[in-house]
Amino acid sequence: MITIPNHGIESSICSVFGEVLECRDMAQDGLFLNKLNYAKLPNIPIYNIIGTGCKMGNETGDGVVTKDSAYLEEADNFEVTGSCDELKLQYFHNDILNPIKYPEVYQKIKELLKKK
């Protein structure tokens, strides 16, 4: 998983990027996320890449998802530090998949796919 809001996002942030129904589903107390979080996890390795480096109130994150919300206790969590430019509406959440800006993410994905 990459920059997944495992424990939800704040609705005020979501309205910038998402539609009403998607924001409702991704809300911290939303039905969709609660169903996912209380479901039995498959017996497979779970890898989770978390974006950090952008100030989000009193927390850090990728500009959309806070580090705490992305962290998944049952997963192998990996942090990647990036940056945001809110004035230009450029968020690490979107840029993390750009292999030119953040080649370490691409390298981590390659490394994890090689694991058996």
State the DSSP H helix or E strand holding residue 54, giving kind and residue range, or none if neither. strand 54-56
pLDDT of residue 14: 65
Q: What number is the average pLDDT over the span 11-16? A: 60
- Nearest partner of 37 among 87, 78, 72, judged by Cα: 72
The answer to whether 96 and 62 have CB atoms below 8 angstroms apart is yes
Task: Read off the pLDDT of residues 21-60 as tens digits, 9 standing for 90 and up.
Answer: 777 777 777 777 777 777 788 889 999 999 999 998 899 9
pLDDT of residue 30: 76
**3-class SS of residue 67:** helix
Its pTM stands at 0.82
Return the domain boundaries, the chain: 11-114
